């Protein structure tokens, strides 16, 4: 790879204790260069950087969720404190009034709690053999406030409001205090109730009202307790109920949760493809983590010796058909995690699954090939889309291929490709 004399010179200028590490490094780099002749060790480094960035993004999301949770806990503590103080003050005031009333009764004075002191002696206690009887009208005048507790349930965040009976309440206790009782369990229970009642259109409102970017655990996690066929039927009914909703992007959060939940379950395909299809057709963009989850699910199916065509056509088992949008997202996901060979297989099998590749399909694969300097493959793919499929390539796609060829000093190949495109009626303007 490097030549014996060159390696001897490199190792000769090092200290004796550093030579073994340097030799191991050279062997590792040679192995990677053999594995990937274009990028070599840099390709492995780039893959590691992308993975680190992915974990950093997820870590940042978790930190934001933790910050939000702490903020909610702090607000709940601050709200509960004045409620407890006011309740204690009200109880103390009531106790003092009761003590005053008892003292007045013992003095034989009639008391009117609601409107002051009466000089008429309406209470006559006759003690007989240690017992007493009373003849009074105290119940006509004593009015002890009865506090009403009202519970309001608003989709996700529930509040308990303590409401006073009137403006003359003891200690001016006439305020409403809302105690947040929000939690993931409350959201999950609300969604579960909506599913049991088959009021699926409430689910987007429940999730949007939760005001949480990415709640953990997933609010659809309880679906794992259902049999697989029942779970698939429920998710299908949810997807169908979202179709008439306007604006179409309203169920965006619901789509994200459903897709994330399904992709992290055993046997996620083809159900995940159905959710992805509805997501894309509604104009929503899945979260970035979907690329990695979808790729892992796809490769898991492929390791079971399933063909690309068979996996895609499994969508028909519950009323869906593969389309270009779904396949294109799969191709872009595979390209994003350096599974270019698998992306090419998906591209070439799309036609057998009933969806003809379009400009986005070829553009994603050609762009990924140019990024790793597979210029010959990218040129062949460009010729295929023009001559075989009859597509006119975008200007930016042609520019990428030509730039990659020039970077590899293959100017003559670039000239031949441009001549081919011009013969096919495409004027690149390069």
Residues 379 and 424 in one domain: yes
Residues 207 and 319 in one domain: yes
pLDDT at 246 over 80: yes
Least confident of 196-205, 269-278, 409-418: 409-418
Q: Could you report the per-residue pLDDT of 49-69, keeping only the tens digit for each?
A: 888 888 888 888 888 888 888
Mean pLDDT across the chain, nearest whole number? 77
**391 domain residue, yes or no:** yes
Q: How many domains does the chain have?
A: 2
The Cα 212–Cα 121 span in angstroms is 65
Residues 294 and 259 in one domain: yes
Confidence of residue 155 (pLDDT cuts 50, 70, 90): very low
Residues 242 and 346 in one domain: yes
Confidence of residue 132 (pLDDT cuts 50, 70, 90): very low
Higher pLDDT, 1 or 400: 400
**324 domain residue, yes or no:** yes
**249 domain residue, yes or no:** yes
Domain that holds residue 376: 358-430
Residues 192 and 337 in one domain: yes
User: In sequence order, which residues have a C-beta less than 8 Å from that of residue 138 and are 6 or more positions away?
Assistant: 110, 111, 122, 123
Q: Among 336, 356, 376, where does a domain finish?
A: 356
**97 domain residue, yes or no:** no
Least confident of 192-206, 213-227, 239-253: 213-227
**417 domain residue, yes or no:** yes
Global model pTM greater than 0.75 = no
**227 domain residue, yes or no:** yes
pLDDT at 328: 96
Residues 342 and 225 in one domain: yes
Higher pLDDT, 18 or 102: 18
Q: Among 299, 325, 356, where does a domain finish?
A: 356
Residues 379 and 341 in one domain: no
pLDDT at 430: 60
> The sheet that has 178-180: what strands, in order across it?
148-154, 157-163, 178-180
- % residues pLDDT > 70 (the chain): 71
Higher pLDDT, 195 or 209: 195
Residues 307 and 371 in one domain: no
pLDDT at 368: 94
**37 domain residue, yes or no:** no
Q: Mean pLDDT throughout 80-104? A: 54
Residues 213 and 324 in one domain: yes
Q: Could you report the per-residue pLDDT of 286-339, keeping only the tens digit for each?
A: 999 999 999 999 999 999 988 999 999 999 998 999 999 999 999 999 999 889
**111 domain residue, yes or no:** no
Q: Among 340, 356, 372, where does a domain finish?
A: 356
User: In sequence order, which residues have a C-beta less than 8 Å from that of residue 362 and are 6 or more positions away?
Assistant: 347, 381, 382, 384, 385, 389, 391, 393, 397
Cβ atoms 216, 254 nearer than 8 A: no
Residues 414 and 336 in one domain: no
Residues 219 and 349 in one domain: yes
Residues 326 and 278 in one domain: yes
The Cα 86–Cα 338 span in angstroms is 63
Higher pLDDT, 42 or 310: 310
């Amino acid at each position: 790879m490097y030549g014996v004399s060159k390696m001897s010179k490199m190792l000769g200028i090092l200290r004796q204790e550093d030579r073994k590490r340097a030799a191991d490094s050279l062997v590792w780099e040679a192995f990677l260069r053999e594995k990937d002749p274009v990028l070599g060790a840099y390709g492995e480094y780039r893959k590691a950087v992308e993975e680190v960035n992915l974990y950093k993004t997820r870590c940042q999301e978790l930190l934001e969720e933790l910050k939000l949770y702490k903020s909610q806990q702090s607000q709940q503590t601050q709200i509960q404190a004045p409620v407890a103080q006011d309740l204690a003050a009200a109880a103390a005031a009531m106790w003092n009034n009761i003590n005053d009333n008892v003292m007045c009764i013992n003095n034989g004075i009639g008391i009117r709690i609601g409107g002051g002191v009466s000089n008429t002696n309406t209470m006559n206690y006759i003690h007989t053999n240690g017992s007493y009887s009373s003849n009074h009208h105290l119940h006509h005048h004593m009015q002890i406030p009865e506090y009403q507790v009202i519970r309001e349930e608003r989709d996700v965040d529930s509040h308990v409001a303590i409401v006073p009976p009137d403006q003359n309440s003891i200690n001016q206790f006439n305020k409403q205090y809302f105690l947040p009782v929000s939690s993931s369990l409350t959201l999950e229970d609300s969604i579960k109730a909506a599913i049991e009642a088959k009021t699926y259109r409430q689910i987007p409102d429940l999730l949007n009202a939760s005001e949480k970017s990415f709640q953990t655990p997933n609010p659809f996690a309880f679906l794992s307790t259902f049999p697989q066929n029942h779970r698939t039927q429920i998710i299908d009914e949810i997807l169908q109920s979202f179709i008439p909703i306007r604006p179409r992007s309203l169920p965006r959060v619901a789509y994200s949760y459903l897709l994330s939940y399904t992709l992290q379950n055993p046997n996620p395909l083809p159900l995940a493809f159905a959710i992805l299809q509805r997501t894309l057709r509604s104009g929503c963009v899945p979260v970035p983590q979907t690329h990695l989850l979808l790729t892992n699910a796809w490769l898991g199916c492929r390791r079971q010796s399933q063909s690309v065509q068979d996996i895609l056509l499994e969508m028909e088992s519950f009323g869906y058909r593969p389309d270009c949008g779904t396949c294109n997202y799969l191709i872009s996901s595979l390209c994003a995690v350096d599974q270019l060979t698998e992306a090419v297989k998906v591209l070439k099998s799309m036609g057998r699954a009933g969806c003809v590749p379009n400009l986005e399909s070829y553009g994603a694969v050609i762009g990924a090939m140019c990024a790793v300097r597979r210029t010959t493959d990218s040129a062949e793919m460009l010729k295929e889309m023009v001559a075989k499929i009859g597509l006119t390539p975008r200007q930016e796609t042609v520019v990428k291929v030509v730039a990659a060829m020039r970077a590899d000093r293959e100017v003559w190949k670039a000239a031949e490709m441009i001549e081919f495109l011009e013969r096919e009626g495409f004027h690149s303007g390069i």
